[in-house]
Structure 1
Amino acid sequence: MKFFGKMVANKLATVLVLLVILASLGLFITWKINRFNGTSNAQYNFVLKKFTKENQLLVAGAEWETTRNQNFESEATKKWPKWTNFFKDLIISRDIEVKVPIKTEFKLDLTQLNQDDIELKDNVLTFKTPLTVNVDSQQEGNPKIVSSSSGIVDKAVDLLTASKKAMDFLEEKAQETVYETSQEAIKDSERQEKVAKYAAENLEKLLNLDNQNQEKIDVQISTADLTFKNTDPKK
């Protein structure tokens, strides 16, 4: 009886090993077919490295190091029940942290401005209608993967192609990162106040260039006079 029980236990163990191998092979094939074709989730961490006043209508510039945490989910496995998450993460998963150097420019748009939009009284210039500040970000340099975690299947493929494929995928997603950086640049109230200050100073310089024999014009701009517009496409 003991021999029979031991034989059954050994066979069950063999079957379990075979099932794990077959499941891994199946997931590997699924991953190969759907690699980076599924959905992905991204989280951002923004580090403002520099914020400076610019001349003329380019009123301010910011340099960022945007950290994008990217999680990839295979199209073939995203509908699996929640209790399988551990196995999906163990066998097929990829979490990547990448840093992207980005420069943001704040440009004061005066193209639609006319004399009805301004008021000059006692040499003080104010605005009756809001001025548009175009917020434009560009990627400067190449993104850099600073950390990456993989499932069992990914780790095997990493030796050949996975890291390159991941970088290619992230480069395709770079525009989303640029867009999100512009969104971050817009929403900070302290930064908006600096843009208003720099805009007033630069407009004063322009208006007073040929005003040597007359009183200087004082330009007053507050954040209430500005409308910030993200000019970067999301995708």
Structure 2
Amino acid sequence: MNPPLAEPPATNGGTPRPTDEELARRRTAVGELGHELRALVDAAVRTTAPDATLRHVADHVRRLTAELTGGGQRVRAEIPAVDEFPGGPRMYSPVTGPGSPLAPPVEVVPEAAGLVGRCVLGIAHEGPPGYAHGGMSAMLLDELMGHACAAAGAPAMTISLRLRYHGPVPVGTPLRIAARVARTEGRKLHVDGSIATEATPDTALVTAEAVFVAPDPARLRALFPHLPATP
């Protein structure tokens, strides 16, 4: 896989690319909707409202869903116009996407040894009461480790991911997710990752080792047929 383009292509998956101003407005609107949807999801999993209230809200949500679907929808594998793939912003990522109702969302920043992501998981991400579902830890680490590959100049895909759970990951608590490329072997990248709380960053609650592979251009095109043509 080639490193991200310095200048975004004129099209993204066949859709004419909006101007910078249009893109900024659209991303802002997507983020605002995502924020409110996350608040709605949190309220829905916390509420003790009576049955009549739940049915009343469900009717409202059905009408809102009809509004969103009435304006057209993208098809499977189509790259949203607000995204830059590979290696750029993913507005609907279930981990980092500000437009996703599922995402925490994780904010990723570079550090000397790799990348660090920060987030707070909510009750919607709960497995055991008060703690995150173990699958959430896997998803957070897989995403951040993939970002580490892209930051190292080789966007890649996971071929193996091994986790060790040292302690439960609490919800409602600031978390620190770390990832770094440990070594490379041709198109393979070996990546290390961990999750800890911000309060005790040196005490890993989950650690991970993964192998990623940067697919060759033909494989990449077969997997993602909506990718813009490269010069």
TM-score bracket, shorter-length normalisation: under 0.3
Higher relative helix content: 1
Larger radius of gyration: 1
Question: Structure 2-normalised TM-score?
Answer: 0.23
Structure number with the higher strand fraction is 1
TM-score in terms of structure 1 length: 0.23
